Amino acid sequence: MMRFGMALIVIAVGSPAMRAQDPLPAVLREVGIDQRLNVQVPLELRFHDEAGQDVRLGDYFNGRPVILVLAYFRCPMLCSQVLNGLVDGLRDVSLDMGEQFQVVTVSFDARETFPLAAAKKANYVESYGRPGASGGWHFLTGEQEAIDRLTRAVGFHYSYDSEKDQFAHASGIMILTPQGKIARYFYGIRFPSRDLRLGLVEASEGKIGSPVDQVLLLCFHYDPATGKYTPEVMGFVRLGGTITLLVLGLFLGRGWYRDWRKRRSLVRCVGGGGPTNTPMPFSPPPTYRTNHITE
């Protein structure tokens, strides 16, 4: 019960707009996420992948957007809830992990090593259940310096409780552009598939997704305070105006085409099949006979 209560408190302070004003335990006072939209993440940072290989963070930014998850693998509850919520949301996203986007999960506990990362990866790749997921979801561990630089860059604040040997932290994920800039923050432990898809399409600058996604982006507005996409009134107005113009254009076009067909048929009937370049045969002028009276 104690762990569950702490998880609820951390979720509540995860968004800057939702941080409680009441006094908090010391371990929670610095916990939260500060949005740093459009900030460049240091791609030169080095970590270890789930196979123990030395990698650069930038190795995963190869022309596709990246979902970044900061978690520690021994977390008794909240990190697993975040990862479970991400899997649930991604299952209903038609975009394929590994093909159109990447997921990078980085442990902020410098004591964790790659065997633990490998076990976590195997579990979540299997849960996601799509081919290619193994090459699209990466679980990294690293040294404290690299962890600190990454968490500072994205505004992720956490603290360590030595008595319980646990970390207090906020819950959420980030979507980064293919160039490594922060595009979107999503808070909580549930991530709707619509928000994930729109966030990935927007971060990719329209390079993935469908024309329908571009229309939806006109109708839904990203609210930084809540970390969600909400319906935008003006978006619906613009969409309605666009549909009206298309319908009106189609109606006028059909009317014009019908009139053109009628005029063409009339010309054919009157002109015997229409104008021709064949010359008319020459007919000589008529001759007149004169009767002469002779005396």
Amino acid at 248: L
Q: Among residues of the chain, what percentage have pLDDT more than 90?
A: 56
CA–CA distance from 67 to each of 138, 232, 290 (Å)? 10, 25, 109
Cα–Cα distance for residue pair 80/86, rounded to 1 Å: 10
CB 188 within 8 A of CB 11: yes
Taken in order 113, 115, 116, 120, the sign of the CA dihedral is positive
Q: Can you tell me which residue has the tokens 């054919």?
A: 268
Residue 155 CB: number of other CB atoms within 10 A?
A: 18
CB 171 within 8 A of CB 188: yes
CB 144 within 8 A of CB 106: no
Q: Can you tell me which residue has the tokens 């990294």?
A: 140
DSSP-assigned letter for residue 43: T
pLDDT, position 168? 93
pLDDT in tens, 50-73: 999 999 999 999 899 999 999 999
CB 107 within 8 A of CB 72: yes
Longest dimension (CA), the chain: 156
Specify which residues 173 forms β-bridges with. 186
pLDDT tens track, the chain, 295 positions? 333 334 444 444 444 544 445 566 776 778 999 999 999 999 999 999 999 999 999 999 989 999 999 999 999 999 999 999 999 999 999 999 999 999 999 999 999 999 999 999 999 999 999 988 999 999 999 999 999 999 999 999 999 999 899 999 999 999 999 999 999 999 999 999 999 999 999 998 866 555 655 555 567 677 887 777 788 644 444 444 454 555 555 766 676 767 767 777 766 666 554 444 545 555 555 554 544 444 3
DSSP string, 146-205: HHHHHHHHHTEEEEEETTTTEEEE--EEEEE-TTSBEEEEEESS---HHHHHHHHHHHTT
Structure pTM?
0.70
- CATH topology for 2-208 is Glutaredoxin (3.40.30)
pLDDT in tens, 222-233: 788 777 778 864
